[in-house]
Amino acid sequence: MKAIEAEEVRKSYKVFFRRKEVLKGISLEVEEGEIYGIIGPNGSGKTTLISILSTILKPDSGNVRVLGMDVEKDAKKIREVINISSGNPNFLWSLTAEENLKYFGMAYGIGGEELKKRIEELLSLLELEEHRETRFDEMSTGTKQRLSLAKALINRPRVVFLDEPTTGLDPDIALKMRETIKRIHEEEGVTIVLTTHYMKEAEMLCEKLSFLRNGVVELEGTVSDFKTKFKNLEYALIRVEGSIEELKIPHAVLSDGKLRVDEIERLGEVIELLSSKGVRIKDVKIREVELEDVFIQLSK
């Protein structure tokens, strides 16, 4: 079954006397059990899209189905089986981690021993045991993010939406968070739809990606599809012995004391030419395309 099917989704907001179209006919499909990433520059419509998919924003037009249910007609049923975690999370300020989880657990209809057990599992999974008595307004950003993730799992959802889950975290904490998300995905078998600004995160976690710009999906596919599409961004760097200042080699340019070959298919030609001129090559490095390069290219 498809976890998410969105067809021609449109959404606009009223800004003073004008309407601003934020989503201009988005279509996408997410398979159950996969981690799907929505990437794109600021203002591209990522949060709007994730809010529509999670039933807290109504689209102007288009069809959206989550686990086969319509987001408008079956919103309440969908809410039983989904959950959300946002970057820069906010919860009830004077409630502790445990109390916040209890409140949300109860709001999902869970109670008694079952809820207690689930809270303990999540406090342990997200390494929040030592913060169980800490009030939300006294937590560090990293702890708040972990609590947000714990809250997003309280009802054992089938689909979890993570809206920029590592925003504002230190690199080491962000990496740990990503590992936790991966572990949760493996252990709980949950479908994850995440938006992110960090291409390393998308590369590490996502099986499939959509690139959004100005409310339109500009590219969709696996990380390797994205890279293949922009294979022309690959280049090779050749380090040689001696001065290269006077070398004039076709298809190669001087870059930081090295020769840079942008057309990889001509690399052999360039190496042959260098050898024929008696230049000794120290090493050749191929700089593969990274998702970040694709992101920059697509954002232009």
Partner 1 sequence: MSLYSSLNKFLAFAYKNWVMSKRNVFTIFEIAFWPVVSFISVGLMSRYLSLTDNQTAFILIGAITFSSVQVCQLDVGYALLFDVWSKCIKHTFITPTSSHHYILGSSLVGSLRSFLVLLLLSLFGYIFFDFNILEVGMTPLLLIFFAIILSAISIGMLVCVCVLLVGLRAEVAAWSIVWLFLLLAGIYYPPSILPPTLQFLSNLLPLTHLLAYFRSFYLGGGAEFEILTTYILLFIHIAFTSVLLHLATRHAIKSGLLLRISE
Contact residues toward partner 1 (CB under 8 A) are 13-14, 47-48, 51, 54-58, 76-77, 79-80, 82-84, 86, 89-95, 99, 102-111, 115, 136, 151
Q: Identify which of residues 90 and 124 has a Cβ nearer to partner 1 in the complex.
A: 90
CB of 86 to partner 1, least distance (A): 8
Rg (CA), the chain: 24
CB of 89 to partner 1, least distance (A): 8
Q: Identify which of residues 18 and 76 has a Cβ nearer to partner 1 in the complex.
A: 76
CB of 130 to partner 1, least distance (A): 21
For residue 145 the two structure tokens come to 């993010």
Longest C-alpha distance within the chain, in Å? 81
CB of 90 to partner 1, least distance (A): 4
Closest CA to 192 of 200, 77, 201: 201
Q: Identify which of residues 93 and 228 has a Cβ nearer to partner 1 in the complex.
A: 93
Q: Identify which of residues 101 and 261 has a Cβ nearer to partner 1 in the complex.
A: 101
Q: Identify which of residues 98 and 201 has a Cβ nearer to partner 1 in the complex.
A: 98
Q: Give residues with Cβ within 8 angstroms of 166, minimum separation 6.
A: 87, 145, 173, 174, 177, 178, 196, 198, 201
Compute CA distances 115 → 28, 32, 76, 98, 289, whole Å.
35, 26, 21, 11, 46
The β-bridge relationship of strands 191-196 and 35-39 is parallel
CB of 50 to partner 1, least distance (A): 10
